[in-house]
Amino acid sequence: MISEIIIWGKTIPMYGVLGVTGALLGMLYILLMAPKFGADRENSVYIYVLGAVGAMAGAKLLFILVEIPDILRALESGISNPSEIIWSLANGGMVFYGGLLGGISAAWWCSKIIKTKLTDYLVLLVPALALAHSIARIGCFSAGCCYGIETTSWIGYTYTNSLVAPNGIPLLPIQLIEAFCVFLIFIFLVWYTSSPKREPYTLAMYIILYAPIRFILEFFRGDSHRGFMLGLSTSQWISAALFIITVMWLIRKTNVCHWFSKKHLD
């Protein structure tokens, strides 16, 4: 896997290239699909771009929060150069769920500024998010971050010059597995949003589909910097919480229990 490319004499990490590519493909999807849903293209782009900025900030913030125990241990050990910690955090990873929450918050704030309803644009933004997310995970694979557990050579990928993943050891390409799963979610959401009746539940469907996948895939991650409590990672706890909350919201919103009871009595 190519980890860097040279453009106009500049060496650029593939992680960044694929991240930007995913974001641009998401924007292209929004521009192409906005007329279908009767959404204002300009407002859609404003919300998407500001949401992307909020996503990056939220992803970095949650990463820092997860790293707080290690930071405190480093400070207690009497680290001679605290700037090393700052540099490590600035160049460290990001946590997707922090990005999701940060992106939604920033998109909501933007919708308030331009005096529109965010819910009117989720039918566009959520599939675009899934598309960008799937491409970004390929970027993770190219960088070696978010790597998988050690496995057999025939199914694993061996890094030889990674600054993050262990080199010379076959690792499960969990990043590519997640990228494939999220791309399937994108395809599903494109179909799902084809019906106006289902449009209000687009974000809920994304969470219900992604959360269990992320919960399971976390067991096959090999990197340790993800925060753990009672044997589960930070992302697993968030996955479980979001899944339960979303299912309860859907039940309440669609009145499933009432519908089932009426159907059963009939």
- Burial of residue 54, with CB atoms counted within 10 A of its CB: 0-12 exposed, 13-18 middle, 19 or more buried: buried
* pLDDT at 161 (0 to 100): 82
Q: Which of 20, 23, 24 is nearest to 5 (CA)?
A: 20
pTM: 0.83
Give tens-digit pLDDT for 200-241. Answer: 889 999 999 999 999 999 999 988 766 677 888 888 999 999
The C-alpha angle 147, 152, 153, rounded to 5 degrees, equals 90
Classified as helix, coil or strand, 79 is coil
Q: What residue has token string 């009432």?
A: 258
Characterize the bridge pairing of strands 4-7 and 10-13.
antiparallel
Neighbours of 17 (CB within 10 A): 16
Q: Are 12 and 139 in contact (CB under 8 A)?
A: no
Q: Cite the beta strand spans of 74-216 per DSSP E.
A: 157-158, 170-171
Q: How many CA atoms lie within 13 A of 123 on its CB side?
A: 21
Answer yes or no: are the C-beta atoms of 114 and 23 closer than 8 Å.
no
SS3 content of the chain, % helix, strand, coil (to 5): 65, 5, 25
| pLDDT for 259 | 45
What is the sign, positive or negative, of the torsion defined by CA atoms of 55, 20, 90, 207? positive
pLDDT (0 to 100) of residue 199: 80
Which residue ranges in the chain fall short of pLDDT 50? 85, 87, 89-90, 258-260, 264-266
13 φ, ψ (degrees, to nearest 5): -65, 140
pLDDT of residue 133: 92
